[in-house]
Amino acid sequence: MQDYQRQLKDIEKELGAHEAPSTESSLEDQYLARLSHVDYSDKATYKGKDLVIDFLGRVMLWSEIMMQRKGQIDERFRDKVDELYKIRAHLEKLHLTQAWSLRETDLWSHQRRLDRIDEARVNGMFVDADGKPADLYEQRVRRPVPLR
């Protein structure tokens, strides 16, 4: 991740777009604030460089969030994450070993499991047993370590 951040900083220097994260609010709040006023529907108001700078700022904030969290997922959502990775691992195994003979019916059980996970979301957000939604990090992060 640090190498990735160095590359982002190089791009930032090339664009002349240095913008340090604020210390007044959390990185997650800053990221959400950036997302809330993104409206690309009026294409005439945005130039290519402005779009790249905006996106770069969001990516840099997200990389800082990931560095802070160190890939850790809240225990309330660990079971969902683990199930998703098990499904992914099994599908990758199927792809490598049986791609030539894979049928739609072979994927049915995985599709049903994914549907149940998707249907459990509330307003597009994963929620815990108490109905409290996961924060932005848990909604989007990919666990870097493979399943055992």
- Taking only the tens place, the pLDDT of each residue in 26-57 is 887 777 777 766 666 666 666 777 778 888 88
47 and 81 part of one domain: no
- Taking only the tens place, the pLDDT of each residue in 80-119 is 888 888 988 888 887 777 656 777 777 888 889 999 988 8
Q: Find all residues with CB under 8 Å of 86, minimum gap 6, and list them.
A: 147
Averaged pLDDT score across all residues of the chain = 78
Is there a contact between 141 and 73 (Cβ–Cβ < 8 Å)?
Answer: yes
Residue 24 lies in a domain: yes
29 and 85 part of one domain: no
15 and 61 part of one domain: yes
63 φ/ψ angles, rounded to the nearest 5 degrees = -65, -35
Host domain of residue 56: 2-69
Q: How many domains does the chain have?
A: 2
Is there a contact between 134 and 128 (Cβ–Cβ < 8 Å)?
Answer: yes
59 and 86 part of one domain: no
62 and 21 part of one domain: yes
Nearest C-alpha neighbor of 17 from the set 44, 69, 73, 56:
56
Model confidence band, residue 147 (pLDDT cutoffs 50, 70, 90): very low
Q: What is the pTM of this model?
A: 0.58
At 146 the pLDDT is: 46
Q: Where are the alpha helices (DSSP H) in 18-135?
A: 27-36, 48-69, 78-98, 108-119
Other CB atoms within a 10 A radius of the CB of residue 91 amount to 14
Residue 145 lies in a domain: no
Residues in the chain: 148
Other CB atoms within a 10 A radius of the CB of residue 57 amount to 18
